[in-house]
Structure 1
Amino acid sequence: MPTSITLANLSYRTPDGQTLFEGLDLSFGPQRTGLIGRNGTGKTTILKLITGELTPSGGQITVSGTLGVLRQSVQVTPGTTLAQALGIAEALARLERLDAGTGSLDDAAEADWTLTARLSSALAQTGLPDLDPHRPLATLSGGQRTRLALAALLIEEPDMILLDEPTNNLDADGRAAVADVLSGWRGGAIVVSHDRELLRRMDVIVELTTLGAKTYGGNWDHYAERKALELAAAEHNLAAAERKVVEIDRRIQAQAERKAKKDAAGTRKAAKGDIPRIVLGGMKRRAEETSGENARLAGRMRGDAAEAASEARAQIEILQPLSVKLAPTNLPTGKTIVDVKELTGGPDAGNPIIRNLSFTVVGPERVAITGANGSGKTSLLRLLTGELSPVSGTARILGSFAMLDQTVSILDPRETIRDNYRRLNPDEDENACRSALARFMFRADAALKVVGTLSGGEMLRAGLAATIGGRTPPQLLILDEPTNHLDISAIEAVEAGLKAYDGALLVVSHDRALLGNIGVEREIVLGDD
Structure 2
Amino acid sequence: MPASISLSRISWSAPEGRSLLSDLDLSFGPVRTGLVGRNGVGKSTLLRLVEGTLAPQAGKVSVVGSLGVLSQTVQVAADETVANLFGVTDALAVLQKAEEGGATLDELASADWTLEARMEEALARVGLDASAETRLAALSGGQMTRVKLAALVFKEPDFILLDEPTNNLDREGRAAVAALMAGWRGGAIVVSHDRELLEEMDAIVELTTLGATTYGGNWSHYRERKAIELASARHDLADAERRLAEVERKTQETAERKARKDAAGRRKRAKGDEPLLLLDARKERSEKTGGDNARLADRRRDQAVGDLVEARERIEILQPLTVRLPPTGLPAGRSVLQVDNVGVGYERGKPVVDRLSLSIVGPERVALTGRNGSGKTTLLSLLTGDLQPWSGSVRLLVDHAVLDQKVSLLDPALSIRDNFRGLNPDASENDCRAALARFMFRADAALQVVSSLSGGQMLRAGLACVLGGRNPPQLLILDEPTNHLDIDSIEAVEAGLRAYDGALLVVSHDRAFLEAIGITRRIELS
Per the TM alignment, residue 39 of structure 1 is displaced from its structure 2 partner at its CA by: 0.9
- CA 1:384 to 1:310, structure 2 compared with 1: closer, same or farther past 3 Å? closer
Aligned mates of 2:230, 2:71 — CA distance in 1: 33
1:506 is paired with a residue of what secondary structure? Answer: strand
Aligned mates of 1:286, 1:22 — CA distance in 2: 48
1:90-109 alignment to 2 at 5 Å?
90-109=90-109
- Residue identity in the other structure for 2:212: A
Q: Any idea what the Cα deviations from partners look like across 1:331-358, whole Å, max 9, x if unmatched?
A: 1111111122333333334122323322
- CA 1:429 to 1:242, structure 2 compared with 1: closer, same or farther past 3 Å? closer
Per the TM alignment, residue 505 of structure 1 is displaced from its structure 2 partner at its CA by: 0.3
- CA 1:123 to 1:292, structure 2 compared with 1: closer, same or farther past 3 Å? closer
- Residue identity in the other structure for 2:268: K
- Residue identity in the other structure for 1:92: L
- Tell me which residue corresponds to 1:371: 370
- CA 1:226 to 1:345, structure 2 compared with 1: closer, same or farther past 3 Å? same
The answer on whether the counterparts of 1:347 and 1:379 sit within 8 Å (CA) in structure 2 is no
The answer on whether the counterparts of 2:34 and 2:198 sit within 8 Å (CA) in structure 1 is yes
Per the TM alignment, residue 307 of structure 1 is displaced from its structure 2 partner at its CA by: 4.9
Q: Any idea what the Cα deviations from partners look like across 1:279-329, whole Å, max 9, x if unmatched?
A: 434544554454455445444544544454455456555577433322221
Range with bigger deviation, 117-126 or 343-352: 343-352
TM-score normalised to structure 1 length: 0.93
The answer on whether the counterparts of 2:120 and 2:131 sit within 8 Å (CA) in structure 1 is no
1:112 is paired with a residue of what secondary structure? Answer: coil
- Tell me which residue corresponds to 1:360: 359
Per the TM alignment, residue 500 of structure 1 is displaced from its structure 2 partner at its CA by: 1.8
Aligned mates of 1:65, 1:270 — CA distance in 2: 84
- CA 1:287 to 1:433, structure 2 compared with 1: closer, same or farther past 3 Å? closer
Per the TM alignment, residue 72 of structure 1 is displaced from its structure 2 partner at its CA by: 4.3
2:162 is paired with a residue of what secondary structure? Answer: strand
Aligned mates of 1:222, 1:381 — CA distance in 2: 37
- Tell me which residue corresponds to 1:483: 482
The answer on whether the counterparts of 1:72 and 1:165 sit within 8 Å (CA) in structure 2 is no
Q: Any idea what the Cα deviations from partners look like across 1:18-50, whole Å, max 9, x if unmatched?
A: 221121111111111000011111111111111
Range with bigger deviation, 17-26 or 441-450: 441-450
- CA 1:292 to 1:451, structure 2 compared with 1: closer, same or farther past 3 Å? closer
- RMSD (CA atoms): 2.3
- Tell me which residue corresponds to 1:322: 321
- CA 1:124 to 1:252, structure 2 compared with 1: closer, same or farther past 3 Å? same
- Tell me which residue corresponds to 2:402: 403
- Residue identity in the other structure for 1:242: E
Aligned mates of 1:207, 1:29 — CA distance in 2: 16
- Tell me which residue corresponds to 1:146: 145
- Tell me which residue corresponds to 1:261: 260
- Residue identity in the other structure for 1:143: G
Range with bigger deviation, 297-306 or 31-40: 297-306
Q: Any idea what the Cα deviations from partners look like across 1:76-132, whole Å, max 9, x if unmatched?
A: 233222211222222212211222222233322322111100111111121111x24
Gaps of 5+ in 1: none
Matched, 1:53 2:53: yes
Per the TM alignment, residue 54 of structure 1 is displaced from its structure 2 partner at its CA by: 0.7
The answer on whether the counterparts of 2:230 and 2:319 sit within 8 Å (CA) in structure 1 is no
TM-score normalised to structure 2 length: 0.94
Matched, 1:89 2:92: no
- CA 1:140 to 1:417, structure 2 compared with 1: closer, same or farther past 3 Å? same
Aligned mates of 1:280, 1:423 — CA distance in 2: 70
The answer on whether the counterparts of 1:478 and 1:506 sit within 8 Å (CA) in structure 2 is yes
Runs of 4+ with >6 A deviation: none
- Tell me which residue corresponds to 2:416: 417
Q: Any idea what the Cα deviations from partners look like across 1:208-232, whole Å, max 9, x if unmatched?
A: 0000000000011111111121122
Aligned mates of 1:266, 1:416 — CA distance in 2: 60
- Tell me which residue corresponds to 1:498: 497
- Residue identity in the other structure for 1:384: L
The answer on whether the counterparts of 1:354 and 1:380 sit within 8 Å (CA) in structure 2 is yes
Aligned mates of 1:468, 1:99 — CA distance in 2: 67
1:51-130 alignment to 2 at 5 Å?
51-72=51-72, 74-129=74-129
- CA 1:391 to 1:290, structure 2 compared with 1: closer, same or farther past 3 Å? closer
Aligned mates of 2:119, 2:127 — CA distance in 1: 12
1:506-517 alignment to 2 at 5 Å?
506-517=505-516
Counting aligned pairs with the same residue, the percent is: 62
Aligned mates of 2:422, 2:290 — CA distance in 1: 64
- CA 1:198 to 1:331, structure 2 compared with 1: closer, same or farther past 3 Å? same
- CA 1:405 to 1:432, structure 2 compared with 1: closer, same or farther past 3 Å? same
Per the TM alignment, residue 150 of structure 1 is displaced from its structure 2 partner at its CA by: 1.4
- CA 1:270 to 1:399, structure 2 compared with 1: closer, same or farther past 3 Å? same
Aligned mates of 2:18, 2:299 — CA distance in 1: 37
- CA 1:442 to 1:245, structure 2 compared with 1: closer, same or farther past 3 Å? closer
- Residue identity in the other structure for 1:135: T
- Residue identity in the other structure for 2:6: T
Per the TM alignment, residue 432 of structure 1 is displaced from its structure 2 partner at its CA by: 4.4
- CA 1:70 to 1:420, structure 2 compared with 1: closer, same or farther past 3 Å? same
Q: Number of residue pairs matched? A: 526
The answer on whether the counterparts of 2:265 and 2:283 sit within 8 Å (CA) in structure 1 is no
- Residue identity in the other structure for 1:20: L
- Tell me which residue corresponds to 1:43: 43
- CA 1:72 to 1:242, structure 2 compared with 1: closer, same or farther past 3 Å? farther
Gaps of 5+ in 2: none
The answer on whether the counterparts of 1:417 and 1:448 sit within 8 Å (CA) in structure 2 is yes
- CA 1:305 to 1:389, structure 2 compared with 1: closer, same or farther past 3 Å? closer
Range with bigger deviation, 131-140 or 516-525: 131-140
- CA 1:431 to 1:297, structure 2 compared with 1: closer, same or farther past 3 Å? closer
- Tell me which residue corresponds to 1:183: 182
- Tell me which residue corresponds to 1:462: 461
Aligned mates of 1:435, 1:298 — CA distance in 2: 37
The answer on whether the counterparts of 1:210 and 1:317 sit within 8 Å (CA) in structure 2 is no
Aligned mates of 1:285, 1:421 — CA distance in 2: 61
- CA 1:5 to 1:330, structure 2 compared with 1: closer, same or farther past 3 Å? same
Aligned mates of 2:279, 2:49 — CA distance in 1: 75
The answer on whether the counterparts of 2:331 and 2:362 sit within 8 Å (CA) in structure 1 is yes
Matched, 1:31 2:31: yes
- Tell me which residue corresponds to 1:208: 207
Aligned mates of 1:290, 1:133 — CA distance in 2: 87
The answer on whether the counterparts of 2:265 and 2:279 sit within 8 Å (CA) in structure 1 is no
1:113 is paired with a residue of what secondary structure? Answer: coil
- Residue identity in the other structure for 2:461: A
The answer on whether the counterparts of 2:365 and 2:503 sit within 8 Å (CA) in structure 1 is yes
Aligned mates of 2:292, 2:447 — CA distance in 1: 52
Range with bigger deviation, 251-260 or 471-480: 251-260
1:347 is paired with a residue of what secondary structure? Answer: strand
1:342 is paired with a residue of what secondary structure? Answer: strand
- Residue identity in the other structure for 1:51: E
Aligned mates of 1:286, 1:160 — CA distance in 2: 70
- Tell me which residue corresponds to 2:249: 250
Aligned mates of 1:197, 1:57 — CA distance in 2: 35
Aligned mates of 2:415, 2:301 — CA distance in 1: 44
